[in-house]
């Protein structure tokens, strides 16, 4: 089974870092968030990946092409023009990097990798979010549901403290970042049947979260896998700092490997 990772967006809201590298290459604990996402899938037995490239995709290609340089000790014998790799830290991964266009929308990117999927079930996620999602259980639930796509659903925490204000503006209670408004949101980590491609027109302008997902839901072919654990997207610089702090303090819930 393959996992498809959308990694081609501009990452404009994280422009402090994405001016020089694509968003999936922004680091957490010295490793790109893309690597963390792949480790989550690998922990659940999925070791074959298709990465949809776009903005500064060559950076991702170069990182994988020089994976040993990034993860292992090396000796360079300049006189002999030789390189010796020590303490090989290679993962058991097969990674296909696909140029899906600079300005292509999410649906267009998924459509472009159809030939690498064929008629197989596959996983799909975004290249900027981590969580302790039980991928194996989501696949099992998907199989039982008979649906064409299963989306991991998550109830986010409120962003701000909640005040209960009484008479004369007196604050009766204060709750720091309470539960949100109870709405389930799309946390990615999809499980898809190949029929999903039938809902995506052959156009780079198609947004996966619009017509394709709306059509699948309307036709009763979408299932959800509720996730009650940790999930966090890396949208802005503060998110990156928060994730790094969790990692540095050995409090990273997504580190399931």
The mean pLDDT of the chain is 93
CA-CA distance, 114 to 53, in Å (whole number)?
Answer: 14
Instruction: Please report the pLDDT score of residue 197 as a whole number.
Output: 98
Domains and CATH numbers, the chain: 2-155+183-248 (3.90.550.10)
State yes or no: pLDDT of 161 exceeds 70: no
Instruction: Read off the pLDDT of residues 199-223 as tens digits, 9 standing for 90 and up.
Output: 999 999 999 999 999 999 999 999 9
Rounded CA Rg of the chain: 20
**Residue pair 7/34 in contact by the 8 Å Cβ criterion:** yes
Q: Is the pLDDT of residue 178 over 80?
A: no
Question: What pLDDT does residue 70 have?
Answer: 85
Calpha distance 11→15 (Å, rounded): 7
Query: What gap in Å lies between CA 252 and CA 58, rounded to an integer?
Result: 29
Residue 162 has pLDDT above 60, yes or no: no
Model confidence over 52-99: pLDDT tens digits? 999 999 999 999 999 988 888 889 999 999 999 888 777 999 999 999
Q: What is the structure's pLDDT at 169?
A: 65
Q: Looking at the chain, how many residues does it have?
A: 257
Q: How far is CA 219 from the centre of its chain?
A: 26
% the chain with pLDDT above 90: 82
pLDDT at 89: 73
This prediction has a pTM of: 0.91
18-24: list long-range contacts, CB under 8 Å, 24+ apart. Answer: 18/55, 18/56, 20/56, 21/56, 21/59, 22/53, 22/54, 22/55, 22/56, 22/57, 22/59, 22/60, 23/55, 23/127, 23/128, 23/234, 24/51, 24/60, 24/127, 24/128
pLDDT of amino acid 68: 86
Q: Render pLDDT for 166-175 as a digit per residue (tens, 0 to 9).
A: 777 666 666 6
């Amino acid at each position: 089974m393959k996992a498809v990772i959308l990694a081609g967006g501009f990452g404009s809201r994280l422009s402090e870092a994405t001016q020089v590298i694509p968003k999936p290459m922004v680091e957490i604990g010295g490793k790109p968030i893309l690597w963390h996402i792949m480790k989550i899938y690998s922990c659940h037995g999925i070791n074959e990946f298709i990465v949809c490239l776009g903005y500064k995709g060559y950076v991702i290609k170069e990182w994988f092409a020089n994976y040993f340089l990034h993860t292992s000790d090396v000796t360079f014998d300049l006189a002999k023009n030789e390189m010796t790799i020590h303490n090989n830290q290679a993962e058991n991964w097969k990674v296909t990097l696909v140029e899906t266009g600079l300005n292509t929308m999410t649906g267009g990117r998924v459509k472009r990798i159809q030939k690498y999927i064929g008629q197989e079930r596959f996983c799909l996620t975004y290249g900027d979010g981590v969580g302790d999602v039980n991928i194996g259980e989501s696949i099992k639930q998907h199989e039982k549901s008979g649906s064409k796509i299963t989306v991991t659903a998550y109830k986010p925490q409120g962003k701000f403290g909640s005040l209960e204000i009484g008479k004369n503006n007196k604050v009766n209670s204060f709750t720091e970042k309470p539960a949100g408004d109870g709405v389930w949101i799309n946390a990615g980590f999809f499980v898809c049947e190949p029929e999903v491609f039938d809902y995506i027109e052959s156009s780079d302008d198609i947004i996966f979260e619009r017509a394709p997902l709306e059509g699948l839901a309307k036709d009763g072919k979408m299932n959800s896998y509720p996730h009650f654990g940790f999930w966090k997207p890396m949208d802005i610089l503060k998110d990156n700092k928060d994730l790094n702090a969790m990692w540095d303090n050995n409090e990273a819930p997504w580190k399931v490997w």
